[in-house]
Amino acid sequence: MISLSIFLFFIVIPNFTESSPRPKSGTNFEHHYRWPPPSYSYMGTFEKAAVTSDNGLCSEIGRNILIKGGNAVDAAIASMFCLGVTNPQSSGLGGGFVMTLYNRSEQKCHILDARETAPNAASREMFLNNPNGSRYGYLAIGVPGELSGYWLAFKKYGSHKVSWYELVKPSVDLCRNGIPVTPYLAHTMKVKEYHFVQFPSMREWINPVTGTTYQTGDIMRRIKLGKTLELIAKSDDPEEMFYRGEMADVMANEIQENGGIITKKDFANYKTREYPPLYTVDFAEDLVMCGGPPPSSFSVTQLIIALLGRYYGPHSKQNILYRSSLFYHRLIEAQKHAYAHRTLLGDVAFVPTVAALAKNMTTKAYIDYIFSRMTDHAQPSEYYLGDQNAKMDFGTSHVSVLDKDGNGASATTTINRWFGAAVQSDEYAIVWNDEMDDFSTPGQENGFGFAPSKTNFIEPGKRPMSSMSPMILFNGTDGKTKMVVGASGGSKIISALAKPVVRVLYFNETIKQAIDAPTLHNQFTPDVTQYDETSPKKLIEDLKTIFGQTFKFTTGFEGIAQGIVVGDDGKIYANGDYRREADMHPGGF
């Protein structure tokens, strides 16, 4: 039913392309633009296995688990525990994640949704007169799913060759011995210093020696969190302890005493969801893409890749240089169409039509239809058929793992904005998410006067829409893994992730070249393309004058990709995005 209604909706939309200015016949799109030199990031080359994450220490911890005999799932869990220590501004036990797993022997993917959940007392208008309440403080907290997801992944998909304790212990040691503060962490702490002073529970982030936030190169110890992690490491059933035991009592009481609405029953009722994966084919020779249904945005990200595959993929007869302004125009247009679809998505457990739409977006017929609407000039916003005020998300960390047996794990974890709700547990030093801000609120129009997204309104037990799109690509014939990829950076995840997949598959770049390349980001709302200092000025000028695109300069681009690629030579290549100054490097052997 949704398929028919969506197609009918498309058909009655006026055709804006007929009156739109188009490039003149014979226009030369090939200019010798000044492209940036290769970045300082390290591309690892490995024989058997690899891990890449948003922090090099965490990649090494994941690699060590693989050396001990653990599989991709074990390594991902250990790396994510680590990210909660080294990247506390973006991830941790107070948040949630989405994980895509690939079992090489089964040639099958599995999806874990451990996203945060709206408490039972939540309502769709709870922030109508208090918009900041969804961003800061205890009312902003969604029920965290991080530990529940780890435990399910370990029990059901782990190798059982390494213990739970071995996965958590390295992060306990980091808390006690201290972590070097990266430039990125130092920057985020400085930005949030005002909130750290306002909320007593966040004084941990103020250096007692200097009276200000920690600086780059400082060694920061997290003693209280280390004790919490040790409790979890030694527990026979950490999920029971966290969600239904003494920890749940303490955490629920702390939250309610400070104006929050999460109860112990909310903790007890939390469950990690498992979903059948979505698969996309017909975008590259013999390859299959897999990822999760909403609230993951895999269906959105794959649409960008598949649309560009219609121009440059295996069925294309065009020989257009991808360093041309025409390619970048098409990239922007593919992003607009895909992000417009994101505004129509929400939690599949609460909006039944969403599941059908997301699946439809992966089909050849639907992709071909959207491709038929791709034009050689920018169009008015209404042409792209989206809800023009969907809420966009923030933050996140990512880890990608490929083990020696060809199994893959791609996981993106988040507490939403930097340092989440800017509050943490006094007893356990867990930084709480502000995931309630990922929902939409009725009646709250944005600065453009557009209505909010109905599919993402707050409901008790609902999970907000996310840009997280962890994905794995494998050969549909022999089952061999080709890519394990994902990204962090809130709403920029989708554009940051689609870029390296397109450039590796269609233009034969290395994973480092593909990640290093300039990123252009258009998320449909607002309809303006963001670019940074790595994009050639002449390219931006041409996209404006020839194709009618509009732009906004952005410093410090937040979309950060992590990728592993198995080359035609059988070797494994891994790289992390240099843009996040977090001492990133891959691990492997």
Residues assigned a catalytic role: 396
Euclidean distance between CA atoms 523 and 529, whole angstroms: 8
Query: Known binder of ligand: residue 62?
Result: no
The full length of the chain comes to 589
Q: Which residues contact 14 (CB under 8 A, 6 or more apart)?
A: none
- Return the HEC string of 524-543: CCCCCEEECCCCCHHHHHHH
Residue 120 CB: number of other CB atoms within 10 A? 14
Q: Identify residue 301 by its one-letter amino acid code.
A: T
Decide: 378 and 399 in contact? Cβ < 8 Å.
no
Which runs of consecutive H residues, i.e. helices, occur in 158-245? 164-177, 183-191, 193-198, 223-234, 238-244
Instruction: Take residue 388 and report the two structure tokens written for it.
Output: 């023009």
Q: Give me the torsion for CA of 528, 533, 536, 542, rounded to 10°.
A: 20
CA distance 313 to 305: 10
The 10 Å Cβ neighbour count of residue 106 is 10
The first and second tokens of residue 257, run together, are: 């005493």
- Longest CA pairwise span in the chain (Å): 72
- Would you say 549 and 325 are in contact if contact means Cβ atoms under 8 Å apart? no
Measure the CA angle with vertex 484, ends 482 and 489; round to 5°: 145
Detail the DSSP E strand segments found in 245-286: 273-275, 278-280
Residue 415 marked as a ligand binder: yes
Query: What is the DSSP code (8-state) at residue 338?
Result: H
Angle separating helix axes 364-372 and 2-11, nearest 10 degrees? 10
Rounded to whole angstroms, how far apart are CA atoms 409 and 391? 28
Cα(first)–Cα(last) distance of the chain, in Å?
A: 49
Show Cβ contacts of residue 95 under 8 Å, excluding neighbours closer than 6 positions: 116, 144, 145, 146, 413, 414, 415, 416, 420, 433, 435
Residue 233: strand pairing partners: none
Q: Give the Cα separation of 410 and 420 in Å (integer).
A: 22
User: With 0-12 CB in 10 A as exposed, 13-18 as middle and 19+ as buried, what is 26?
Assistant: exposed
115 is in an annotated binding site: yes
Residue 183 has which token pair? 């430039």
The reply, when asked if residue 244 is annotated as ligand binding, is no
Ligand-binding annotation for 163, yes or no, is no
CB 290 within 8 A of CB 109: yes
Cis peptide before 380 (omega within 30 of 0): no
- Check whether 414 is labelled as a binding-site residue: yes
- Binding residue positions for L-glutamate: 115, 414-416, 438, 466-467, 490
